[in-house]
Structure 1
Amino acid sequence: MQFGEKLAPLAIVVGVITVSFSAILVKLSSGEPGVIAFYRMFFSALILLPFFMKGHLKEVKLLKKKDWLITFAAGTLLAFHFILWFESLQYTSVASSTVLVTMQPLFAFAGAYFLFNEKISAKAIISAVAAISGSVLIGIGDLQVSGMALFGDVLALISCAFVTGYLLFGQSVRKHLPLTTYTFIVYSISAVVLFLYVLIKGESLGPFETNDWLIFLGLAILPTLFGHSLFNWAIKWVSTTVISMAILFEPVGAAIFAYFILDEAVGSAQLTGGMIILLSLGFFVLTIKRIKVS
């Protein structure tokens, strides 16, 4: 057994833990959603810059005009995914928001069905319907809390659709472009789009307290680079199904952290709906076995 193969399970566990901190860090920040998203992408691109300049700069020549258009679309969708998801956290709970964003596999295969005419089995359709019923249950529970909580749930679902679009657009470019090169370009485009969004909306880019700067940096290092980079590293030794199943534990970790750090309790509707969604998605992933890692 190779050294990397031995460490892959540990890498996946660490990856799940680090991505679970994403929503918590957003909640702890005093910045506006667009600003938080901008600094997350800006610092992510900045950290990747030395690695990109050292051995990947020449790979940019592999990009054709069509690739640039696709990559720009992917970066833009990623930017608005973060804006809407971070905005949703202003209205609804960490548990509701993260579990709804985790419904990405359903959006991915809906997109694949309509865009690429990929067939989906009856079992996958049943599990998708079950997951949607779970999301409706969460929505009903949050509506009883407040109408704004339901609004946050809707934003989380739309952000899930956007991140799915980001993956669908980017998968063709990723086939002939290394991960470091692609992520640096996409993160840079996303940061520029977010910067323009912040300027147009008039959100303040500073000054911030030291705590906020640490949160911005933490978002770049933990869930963005550390978390998903570990998933992408581990995928060399484990199947995409294992990675996809592991990612489904993100809402669980986020809810636990939210309980201890933010004092956010999980209501019965959230708990039941969340369990239905995660179990349905797990069955869906096992049925499809083709989920991509972002």
Structure 2
Amino acid sequence: MNKPSIHPYIPIIIGVISISLSAILVKLATADAGVIAFYRMLFSVLIMSPIFFIKHFKELSLITKRDWLFSSIAGVFLAFHFILWFESLNYTSVASSTVLVTLQPIFAFIGTYIFFKEPLSAKTIISGLIAILGSFLISWGDFQISGTALYGDMLALIACALITAYLLFGQDVRKRISLITYTMVVYSISTICLFFYVLIKGESFGPYSSMDWLWFLLLAIIPNLLGHTLFNWAIKWVSTNVISIAVLFEPIGAAILAYFVFNEHLMLTQIIGGIVVLIGIALFVVDLKIIKKFFIKKA
């Protein structure tokens, strides 16, 4: 496998910053969860279509049945991830929902170990546990033992499992298919799935206010095309575990934005939790051997 032109961590960082806007844009929209998810994916497909049909359309004939199957499953998982997560925002806070939906290492570590036989090093486990601890601290004050909040928390947790499964299937397929083709296939399948979901649920495809259409479009451009698409690029070069750890930074960005947009105040536990998340991410990303050499030379 050829080396990437840029370090995979750079697109991952840009992707994490981009998806931090997702919960804010969803909460600003007035449509049902399925409708928001549908238009997010539809606009993403429409924006990508010119590049795909001009440069990558022929690649479809090279996709194997196995890769079509895996891509289709990934698309369905992505669709229901959005449905459940967007719905959770109607029942619980941005901080709680975002924290739970980004607890991907719990599922990613197990998934990559079972399906790809990736060993779990002590560093991976410890850094993951530290970051997860930080995520819980961020929303400690938001967790409520009530029917609606608990329901929203459960939806977000299931959405977390689905997005991890989506990344796991993508990790396998992306080694053989270009970024644009894979993303176009998965997003198209996800859009079709969401269309029938909205149709069956009887939710309205419109009309909506001009602001709602703006939120739909921004969801497609920022969290999808600058967020998930960059993750799809990086997944060719790094493990799902790397992205899952990095995504734990999302609650920090979402909590800060929620403070300014919705006046959801940050508490001390959330600030401390953010610092703990960063420590966990740093421990996972930084090469401990380099640090050891640095201190040995200094000594």
Question: Which residue number corresponds to residue 24 of structure 2?
Answer: 24
Cα pair 2:105 2:245 within 8 Å, conserved: no
Question: Which residue number corresponds to residue 170 of structure 1?
Answer: 170
Q: 1:234 to 1:143 in 2, by over 3 A?
A: closer
Question: Which residue number corresponds to residue 214 of structure 1?
Answer: 214
Q: CA deviation at 1:279?
A: 3.8
Q: CA deviation at 1:52?
A: 0.5
Question: Which residue number corresponds to residue 295 of structure 2?
Answer: none
Let me know the Cα RMSD of the aligned residues: 3.5
Q: CA deviation at 1:220?
A: 0.2
Deviation string for 1:4-44 (max 9, x for gaps)? 98999987765444322111000000011111001000110
Deviation string for 1:219-277 (max 9, x for gaps)? 00111113344567789999999977764432212111110111112345555555545
Q: 1:208 to 1:14 in 2, by over 3 A?
A: same
Q: 1:84 to 1:285 in 2, by over 3 A?
A: farther
Q: CA deviation at 1:140?
A: 6.3
Question: Which residue number corresponds to residue 88 of structure 1?
Answer: 88
Question: Which residue number corresponds to residue 160 of structure 1?
Answer: 160
Q: Give the 3-state SS of the residue equivalent to 2:144 in structure 1.
A: helix
Percent of aligned positions that are identical: 60
Deviation string for 1:117-176 (max 9, x for gaps)? 332123433444455555666776444374322322222121111011011112222111
Question: Which residue number corresponds to residue 54 of structure 1?
Answer: 54
| Residues 3-22 of structure 1 mapped to structure 2, 5 A cutoff | 15-22=15-22
Q: Distance in 1 between matches of 2:73 and 2:239?
A: 28
Give the TM-score of the pair, scaled to structure 1: 0.82
More deviation, 187-196/87-96: 87-96
Q: Distance in 2 between matches of 1:145 and 1:281?
A: 30
Cα pair 2:112 2:241 within 8 Å, conserved: no
Give the TM-score of the pair, scaled to structure 2: 0.81
Cα pair 1:138 1:269 within 8 Å, conserved: yes
Q: CA deviation at 1:195?
A: 0.7
| Residues 210-249 of structure 1 mapped to structure 2, 5 A cutoff | 210-229=210-229, 247-249=247-249
| Residues 36-185 of structure 1 mapped to structure 2, 5 A cutoff | 36-133=36-133, 141-144=141-144, 146-185=146-185
Gaps of 5+ in 1: 289-294
More deviation, 111-120/158-167: 111-120
Q: Distance in 1 between matches of 2:238 and 2:284?
A: 19
Which amino acid in structure 2 is aligned with residue 124 of structure 1? T
Which amino acid in structure 1 is aligned with residue 66 of structure 2? K
